């Protein structure tokens, strides 16, 4: 049984793709090139790298204590005023899998009112998985189609998953025909489904459930399409994106075909 079911996007990777600059193909049957991924380091080394990448090295321990990683904090959440009320409910979903629901801050907020960062309220769901006791695996899914939107509850239900979390962002201003396309790097089963956004704000959570390895960082991507007969190649600029007319190309009309300023440019 799957322990978790994720919606893929910039926050999630699977497979041996932890090395910066990894490239892979899009969908089965498409042509592409991939560079070999680096051999994953042991989990303890990866966790040490994780901490060193997101914090000041001078403040980070050389290697985190395993007990502190596996045991969730039991103190109050550092949200809002320290004197806010907080209540918790803990439920064991399966051996080694515990769900903790935390309510913190003031009670209900009227519709249309923005909650205060001083008083809340906050509702936090924490899923704790003990890898030594839990019998399951972490997987990714995008539902029936990458182009359409779907609720996390529906994705988890169809996958018969024990728990699920939304690990993706999608464009609110893009083509409605492709409303569900993720924004940022998305990799599933070793295949690149969408490229990194290229912004400095994008940070990717790389998760290899087979190797029990985890890393957070910024990743680069390159790819190309190769001809099986002629040997020529074209550089890929995007993956699984809606067709667009490149800059310098005129829109097609009934009387004329699209014209492009540069050689090798394509227009849909």
Per-residue pLDDT of the chain (268 residues; tens, 9 = 90+): 333 333 333 222 222 233 333 333 333 333 333 333 333 333 333 333 333 333 333 443 444 444 444 445 568 899 888 899 999 999 999 999 999 999 998 777 676 666 677 888 888 999 999 988 998 887 888 888 888 888 889 988 988 899 988 877 777 777 778 888 888 888 888 888 888 888 888 888 887 767 778 888 888 888 888 888 887 888 888 888 877 666 666 655 545 565 565 555 554 4
> 177 in a domain, yes or no?
yes
> 244 in a domain, yes or no?
no
> 226 in a domain, yes or no?
yes
pLDDT in tens, 16-63: 233 333 333 333 333 333 333 333 333 333 333 333 333 333 443 444
Quick check: 225 and 214 in contact, CB under 8 A? no
> 265 in a domain, yes or no?
no
> 114 in a domain, yes or no?
yes
> 22 in a domain, yes or no?
yes
Quick check: 18 and 38 in contact, CB under 8 A? yes
Q: Which domain holds residue 141?
A: 2-235
User: How many distinct structural domains can be found in the chain?
Assistant: 1
Burial classification of residue 219, based on how many CB atoms lie within 10 Å of its CB (0-12 exposed, 13-18 middle, 19 or more buried): buried
> 31 in a domain, yes or no?
yes
State the sign of the Cα–Cα–Cα–Cα dihedral 117, 118, 124, 128: positive
> 261 in a domain, yes or no?
no
Q: How many helices (H) and strands (E) does the chain have?
A: 3, 12
Closest by Cα among 93, 143, 102 to 125? 102
């Amino acid at each position: 049984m799957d322990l978790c079911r994720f919606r893929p996007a910039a926050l999630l990777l699977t497979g041996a793709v932890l090395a910066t600059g990894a490239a892979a193909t899009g969908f089965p049957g498409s042509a592409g090139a991939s560079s070999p991924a680096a051999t994953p380091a042991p989990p303890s080394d990866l966790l040490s790298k994780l901490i060193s990448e997101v914090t000041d090295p001078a403040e980070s321990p050389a290697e985190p204590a395993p007990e502190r990683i596996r045991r969730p904090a039991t103190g109050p959440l550092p949200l809002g005023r320290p004197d806010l009320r907080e209540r918790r409910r803990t439920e064991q979903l399966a051996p080694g899998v515990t769900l903790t629901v935390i309510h913190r801050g003031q009670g209900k907020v009227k519709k249309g009112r923005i909650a205060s960062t001083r008083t809340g309220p906050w509702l936090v769901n924490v899923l704790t998985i003990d890898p030594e006791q839990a019998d399951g695996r972490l997987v990714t899914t995008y539902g029936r189609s990458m182009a359409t939107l779907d609720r996390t509850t529906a994705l988890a239900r169809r996958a018969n998953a024990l728990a699920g979390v939304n690990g993706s962002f999608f464009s609110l201003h893009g083509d409605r025909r492709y409303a569900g396309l993720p924004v940022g790097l998305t990799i599933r089963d070793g295949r690149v489904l969408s490229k990194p956004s290229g912004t400095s704000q994008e940070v990717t959570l790389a998760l290899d459930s087979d190797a029990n390895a985890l890393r957070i960082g910024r990743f680069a991507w390159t790819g190309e399409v190769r001809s099986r007969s002629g040997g020529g190649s074209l550089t890929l600029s995007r993956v699984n994106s809606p067709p667009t007319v490149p800059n310098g190309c005129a829109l097609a009309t009934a009387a004329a075909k699209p014209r492009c300023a540069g050689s090798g440019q394509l227009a849909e």
